[in-house]
Amino acid sequence: MIGSPTPRRRSGGSSMFLRMLLRSALVRRGRSLAALLAVVVAAAVATAMMNLYVDAEAKLRHEFRNYGANVVVVANEGEPLPADVLDRITSTLGRDVLAVPFAYAVAHKADGTSVVVAGVDLDRVKRLNSWWSVTAWPTAQNQALVGVRAAAALASNGRPIDLNFEGRQRSLVPVGELRTGAAEDSRIYLSLSDFTQWTGVTPSSVEILVPGSADEVTAAVKRLSTALPTAQVRPVRQIMEAEARVLGKTRSSLYASALLIILTAMLCVLATLTGWVLDRRRDFAIMKALGASERLVSGLFATEAAALGLIGALIGFALGAAVAAWIGRANFHSAVVPRFSLLPAIILGSMAIATLSALLPISLLRRVQPAMILRGE
Partner 1 sequence: MFVRLLYESFRRQKRRKLLAGAAVALGVTVTTAMLGVATGIGDKINQELRSTGSNLLVTPKDDTLDVEIGGVSLKPPSDGAYLNEADLPKIKGMFWRNNIVGFTPMLPVNVDIGSTRGSAKTELVGTYFNRQLQFGKEKFTTGVLATHPWWKVAGEFPADGSADVLLGELLAQRFNVHPGDEITLDGKPHRVAGVLSAGGTDDGRAFAPLALAQQLLAKPGAVRRVYVSALTKPEDELARRDPKTMNPQMFDRWYCSPYVQSIAYQLQETIPNSRAEQIRQVAQNEGNILSRIKGLMLLITVAALLASALAVSAAMATAILERRREVGLMKALGAGKIAVAVLFFAESTLLAVIGGTLGFTLGAFLARQIGLSIFNSQITVEPVLFPYVLALAALVTFIGSAAAIRKAIRFDPVHVLRGDA
End-to-end Cα spacing for the chain = 29
- Distance from C-alpha of 198 to C-alpha of 94, rounded to nearest angstrom: 31
Q: Which of 2/364 has CB closer to partner 1?
A: 364
Contact positions with partner 1 (CB under 8 A) in 114-153: 114-116, 129, 131-133, 149-150, 153
Distance from the Cα of residue 279 to its chain's centroid: 43
Contact positions with partner 1 (CB under 8 A) in 294-313: none
Find the binder of partner 1 among 246, 306, 318, 356 (CB under 8 A).
Answer: 246
Does residue 264 belong to the site contacting partner 1 (CB under 8 A)?
yes
Find the binder of partner 1 among 73, 228, 265, 354 (CB under 8 A).
Answer: 265
- Distance from C-alpha of 121 to C-alpha of 126, rounded to nearest angstrom: 9
Find the binder of partner 1 among 23, 241, 294, 334 (CB under 8 A).
Answer: 241
Contact positions with partner 1 (CB under 8 A) in 270-299: 271-272, 274-275, 278-279, 282
- Distance from C-alpha of 290 to C-alpha of 301, rounded to nearest angstrom: 16
142 backbone φψ class: left, alpha, beta (φ>0; ψ -120 to 50): left
Dihedral angle computed from the Cα positions of residues 332, 333, 339 and 343, in that order, rounded to the nearest 10 degrees:
90
Contact positions with partner 1 (CB under 8 A) in 160-189: 179-183, 185-186
Distance from the Cα of residue 268 to its chain's centroid: 28
Q: Are 105 and 134 in contact (CB under 8 A)?
A: no
**Least distance between partner 1 and beta carbon 105 (Å):** 8
Contact positions with partner 1 (CB under 8 A) in 218-237: 234-237
Does residue 100 belong to the site contacting partner 1 (CB under 8 A)?
no
Burial 210-235 (b: 16+ CB within 10 A, else e): bbbeeeebeebbeebeebbeebebeb
Q: Which of 61, 88, 65 is nearest to 206 (CA)?
A: 88
- Distance from C-alpha of 46 to C-alpha of 44, rounded to nearest angstrom: 5
**Least distance between partner 1 and beta carbon 366 (Å):** 19
Does residue 332 belong to the site contacting partner 1 (CB under 8 A)?
yes
Q: Which of 19/282 has CB closer to partner 1?
A: 282
Contact positions with partner 1 (CB under 8 A) in 70-99: 72, 74
| Range in contact with partner 1 (rule: CB under 8 A) among 9-17, 84-92, 240-248, 306-314 | 240-248
Q: Which of 327/337 has CB closer to partner 1?
A: 327
**Least distance between partner 1 and beta carbon 27 (Å):** 14
Find the binder of partner 1 among 1, 20, 54, 60 (CB under 8 A).
Answer: 60
